[in-house]
Amino acid sequence: MADFDWAWPKQIDRDAVEAALRLDFLEKAHNVVLVANQGLGKTMIAQNIALAAVQAGHSVLFTTAAQMLLDLGGQESSRGLDQRLRHYCNRTGQLVIDEIGYLSYDNRNADLLFQVVSRRYEKRSVVLTTNLTFSDWPTVFPNAACTTALIDRLVHHTEIITIEGKSYRTREAEEAGPPQATIMSRRAALNYRAGSGPGACSSELRPAPRVAAPAPARQPRGAPGSGDARQRRARRTRGSPRRTRPAPRR
């Protein structure tokens, strides 16, 4: 948190964040909910709370909502599910659940999250990050009947820290300036190859002209193997009588 820019968000309760970092809520088994849009540092604050808890000697589990619900939903037996619920509810002193609100879940996943929150209710604390206010949570669990009960247990004994403002990542991208184009469009690539692109150098971009193969060296007249010598031998052959071998006498 030493590099956190407290002046950048339009709204943030610094005292509440620092109290959470001191773990004032942990001994009372209260909860902390960080509500902010993406890029405002809610996950980083949650990670720092988890780090402070580890340094204080507490057992901590940091997970995303999707990972936890995928783990619980993948249990094929009631016994296996109960063991995993104990892992998240009884064997972990500090549970941090990140990124609730980016994905929607079915009724089973809503029931599983409700079981985790309900088992930890007033016994062990939960730190949770979300990009949605609680009034928008029905969009995360659209058909779940337990959404109201889930919110009721979360907000009771809970410090809700709301952060408003513009994304840090957007600010960094604007300060860095527009990225330089490193990929050439297809049309530009075709123009480049054809030598018709803006500022193209025709001697470098146009294909090199074909060079004809050099003609074979002409041999001197009368040399063996030359055309003149072959023609003379052909004329002598046509003009001379054909020699025949005399028949043997009987």
The pLDDT value recorded for residue 132 is 95
Q: Per DSSP, what are the bridge partners of residue 207?
A: none
Residue bearing the bigger pLDDT, 163 or 206 = 163
Does the structure show a pLDDT above 70 at 144?
yes
User: In which band, very low, low, confident or very high, does the pLDDT at 232 lie, cut at 50, 70 and 90?
Assistant: low
pTM of the model: 0.69
Mean pLDDT of 110-132: 96
The pLDDT value recorded for residue 225 is 53
Does the structure show a pLDDT above 70 at 25?
yes
The pLDDT value recorded for residue 198 is 47
Find, among 47, 66, 59, the residue nearest to 127 by Cα.
Answer: 47
What whole-number distance in Å separates Cα of residue 116 and Cα of residue 146? Answer: 13
Distances (CA, A) of 65 to 62, 99, 162, 243: 10, 6, 19, 108
Mean pLDDT of 143-161: 92
Mean pLDDT of 170-191: 61
Does the structure show a pLDDT above 50 at 55?
yes
Residue with tokens 């959470």: 20
Residue bearing the bigger pLDDT, 183 or 15 = 15
* pLDDT tens per residue, range 119-128: 999 999 999 9
Range 30-66 burial, b when 16+ CB lie within 10 A, else e: bbbbbbbeebbbbbebbbbbbebbeeeebebebbbbe
Domains (range + CATH), the chain: 21-174 (3.40.50.300)
What whole-number distance in Å separates Cα of residue 31 and Cα of residue 160? Answer: 8
Does the structure show a pLDDT above 50 at 33?
yes
Does the structure show a pLDDT above 90 at 85?
yes
